[in-house]
Structure formats: structure tokens, C-alpha cells
Amino acid sequence: MHSRTVAPISLSRFLIEEQREKHHINADLRLLIEVVARACKAISIAVGKGALGGVLGSAGTENVQGEVQKKLDVLSNEILLEANEWGGHLAALASEEMDAPHPIPHRYPKGEYLLVFDPLDGSSNIDVNVSVGTIFSVLRCPAGVREPDAGAFLQPGSQQVAAGYAVYGPSTMLVLTLGDGVQAFTLDRELGSFVLTARDLRIPEDTREFAINLSNLRHWQAPMRRYIEELLAGKSGPRGVDFNLRWVASMVADVHRILCRGGIFIYPLDAKIKDRGGKLRLLYEANPMAFIVEQAGGMATDGLGRILDLVPQSLHQRVPVFLGSKNEIARVTQYHREAAAA
């Protein structure tokens, strides 16, 4: 008697079971996640073509951040817009690549959700074939708001109903939280569907691995330098153990490693970017990653307080980001709080 092989659980089946058994999501949110996942498959194909796809290099334009847009930044943004406009699940979309929110065209019905995303994070790595990703966050549109403007998106990250990222690496993976743990799906390129490959990811509370752009050390504030110099001192320093540095310069790749084996990711304030409030964007980088990290038992702060408690002041607001293994983030946050209180 052959034991029946357990059929792989597709993203669609996972979402339907979440909806049916846990009443955790409704049909519109299920459709939203499936549409975003389908768009990420299309982006994965475009990214995977590399030089053969004629989409490497600069688009010759700048985005609202003043950053030169890669052709794939623009293409990924368009893929996500086109995929999400018609479904009737969204009231509006916002993106790192667009100054203002994108309204749902009047020819389509509107839904109750807002989607905000970084269509291709780490795109400076594209031309050198290093992993990049898509980061997305789902909020509810405030009640009674029929034509959501930027103000409708300015909700604390604790209001997110879902968040996730796709990482375009050796394999393409989708990592998702609906507020009930973190699940990971791997793209089966033959089936063309995401298959559940890891349930309830947990970040170890301790770690010996840290991710930071060390070249900014001389620009950091005192508590940041204190914390990193202790890690670099290793066995002979106050921590008494050696630490390892990893920095991909692609937030999605660094955060994914942390979800898989622990670690911390820090992009602190430094003298160069102090006036801008930080490097990473709150609504579509810090908030979704903080939601995922907390759901996996980690911690996420801006150096002083919980990222998910921050009330955004603008759509493209930047913040310092400290996230990952709880005990290390608690320590470095404590150093910053002590310095602020001194």
C-alpha cells in the first residue's frame, strides 16, 4: 500500500483554509494577496531574464526620492498597478516609485483595502545579479473615505492587516503574514504557483550575526558606535563572543536571512542622512518588515520606540530601522534610550 504523498499546499489553498477555518481573512483580502503574488511571479520572470530581457540599466528618470530609476523599477511598478486596478479589492495604491497615491480608475469598483509597496527593493543590485525583492503592506481604507489621498495611508504599522515580501534569489520566495504567524512559499516554476515550504517562521532571540553598512561608522551617533564597536571587539570585548557581519545591501535579502537563521538588521541615523530622518521608508519598507519580524518573535524599533507604533507624517517618510533577534534589538535600543535620557 503506497502511502499517499501529501499534496503540496499552494498559496491559494493556504489562503482559502485561512479564510474558511480561521475566519482570518475575507474574500477580498484573499484576492488581494493572490493578485500581488501573481504580480511577483511576473516580476520574478522579468528579473530572471537579466541582460537577455533588455530591462537592465537605468530608465533615465528619477523617482520621488530623487533616485535614478532602473528600468526594472518602472516595470515592476507597472506590473503591480495593472494587476491590482481591476479586482475591486482596493480603494487606492501607493508606491515608492510614485509621488502620490494611484487612484482606482472609475471604470473599476473600489474595495476596502489600501496597498502600499516598494516594487523592487535593492534595485541597485540588479545590474550585478544580486538578490532583490518586492515589499508590500496592506491597510484598511478609513471608513467613509471614497477618494483616499495620501492622508488615508498615514496609519501606524500596527494597523496593517497583512504584509509580505517576495525575494528574487536562487529561488523566488513569498513570505507572508496575515497577523497570525509568518509563512513562506517557494515558487514552483513548472506549476507556476507558490507552494508552502515553511510554516510559522521564528527568529531566535539571540544571534551572533549582524547586518549594517559599516562604511557609515564615522557618521553614527555615540550609542550606535558603542554597540557596533562592542560586537567588533568580539571575544576580547565586553560581549565575550565573536560576531559575524553580513550586508547584502538589499533589505529583502538581509531580512530573509534573519527570518531563516536569526540576526539583526540596522540602518541607523547618520550625519549624512540625519536631515531626511533616515534611509529606509516607513510605510513600505520599515512597517511591513517590522510586522513580519514581530510575527516571527523578533523585535523592530527606530532606536527608541516600536516601529509599528509610529504615526506616519508623510507617504515617503524615512525612519531609522533596527530589527531582528529580540535580545540584541532590546540591547541596542536600550543604549539609544540611555543616550537620549543623558
Task: Pick the stretch among 27-35, 48-56, 168-176, 249-257 that binds ligand P6P (CB under 6 A).
Answer: 249-257
Site for ligand P6P in 15-54 (CB under 6 A): none
Q: State the residue number with the nearest CB to ligand P6P.
A: 251
206 to 225: interface string for ligand P6P, x by CB under 6 A: -------x------------
Q: Is 251 in the site for ligand P6P (CB under 6 A)?
A: yes
124 binds ligand P6P (CB under 6 A): yes
Q: What residues are paired with 198 via a beta bridge?
A: 184
The CB-of-57 to ligand P6P minimum distance in angstroms stands at: 16
Cα end-to-end span (Å), the chain: 72
Nearer to ligand P6P, 34 or 97 (CB): 97
Q: Minimum distance from CB of 251 to ligand P6P (Å)?
A: 3
Determine the size of the site formed for ligand P6P (CB under 6 A): 9
How far apart are the C-alpha atoms of 174 and 41, rounded to whole Å?
A: 10
Check residue 334 for interaction with ligand P6P (CB under 6 A): no
Angular region, 46: left φ>0, alpha ψ -120 to 50, beta rest = alpha
Choices 45-53, 116-124, 287-295, 325-333 (CB under 6 A): range interacting with ligand P6P: 116-124
Is residue 249 a contact point for ligand P6P (CB under 6 A)? Answer: yes
Nearer to ligand P6P, 163 or 251 (CB): 251
CA 102 from centre of chain = 20
Give whichever of 15 and 47 is closer to ligand P6P, judged by the CB atom: 47
Which residues of the shown chain bind ligand P6P in the complex (CB under 6 A)? Answer: 121-122, 124, 213, 249-251, 279-280
